[in-house]
Amino acid sequence: MADSSWPGCAKSLKGVILDLCGVLYDSGEGDGVAIPGSIEAVKRLKESDLQLRFCTNETQATREKFVAKLQRLGFDISVCEVFPPAPAAISVLKERGLRPHLLVHDGLLQEFEAVEKTNPNCVIIADAAENFSYQNLNEAFRVLIGLEKPILFSLGQGRYYKETDGLKLDVGVYMKALEYACDLKAEVIGKPSPTFFQSVLSDMGLKPHEALMIGDDLVNDVGGAQCCGMKGVQVRTGKYRPSDERHPTVIADATVDNLAHAVEVILSQRGLEA
């Protein structure tokens, strides 16, 4: 069933990029829970002629562990299809000869195991959850304030996300905290950084207008994708709030109830309805 608010671009699409948390599943205790209909929706996309990638600001675990969790939840997904910020950050560190002080989730440390970290000349923060203690934030601050030219990388800039037991503060909040403390501007690696979206498009070999991003974060998923020339669709799951539909600057190309609905409309418009 076609939705009248849907932009009639589905026929010219060649690829779809999905956010993970809030679109495929809600994080929380244990592995979290799959959002109803999303396992089947991913399966339908995979069976279609569309390319599919997953673009996430997830940084609480290594890519391998994170993908294993999604597989346990029932999703047909493999490591090479998933683009999180940490591997992108490691490339940047290498290019610029930087040694990071890390303020990240314990689960992400392994990803940085091979990275030189002694005598740090930059700070990397990611969604560290409980590790965002006063002491740890103060330690990151002292590293930055002690550098002649402080460099702060933030893996994403989200305000908050939704877990099964409620909203949780995300890394962007602590990025703003350190920016103010040290009077600097962080470099964001992850969504909505255009270089990050571009790396996913390159992997698919697609131009921006050939791809569609579906996410629950209006600014970072939808707005970020639109800034790159892609279409951006918001789902009413995860961190979605009704006020998103009255946002002063970011207007989604469509807002749909959930991923299952989005996929149904896309495939139906392409004449591939199951």
Shortest distance (Å) from residue 217 CB to its own copies: 14
- 176 counts as binding its own copies under rule CB under 8 A: yes
Shortest distance (Å) from residue 165 CB to its own copies: 11
* Residue closer to its own copies (CB basis): 76 or 179: 179
Q: Among the candidate windows 54-62, 94-102, 136-144, 200-208, which touches its own copies by CB under 8 A? A: 136-144
How many residues touch its own copies under the rule CB under 8 A: the total is: 30
Residues 6+ apart with CB under 8 A from 241: none
Cβ-based burial of 74 (10 A; exposed 0-12, middle 13-18, buried ≥19): middle
- 161 counts as binding its own copies under rule CB under 8 A: no
> Which DSSP string corresponds to 33-89?
EEPTTHHHHHHHHHHSSSEEEEE----SS-HHHHHHHHHHHT----GGGEE-HHHHH
Facing residues of 54 across strands? 18, 82
Q: Among the candidate windows 1-9, 35-43, 68-76, 134-142, which touches its own copies by CB under 8 A? A: 134-142
Asked if omega into 192 is within 30° of 0 (cis), the reply is yes
Q: Which of residues 178-207 bind its own copies (CB under 8 A)?
A: 178-183
Shortest distance (Å) from residue 216 CB to its own copies: 16
* Residue closer to its own copies (CB basis): 160 or 204: 160
Q: Which residue has the tokens 């990275």?
A: 115
22: its two tokens: 């809030």
User: Would the CA dihedral through 233, 35, 60, 200 be positive or negative?
Assistant: negative
* Residue closer to its own copies (CB basis): 58 or 210: 58
- 141 counts as binding its own copies under rule CB under 8 A: yes
* Residue closer to its own copies (CB basis): 5 or 133: 133
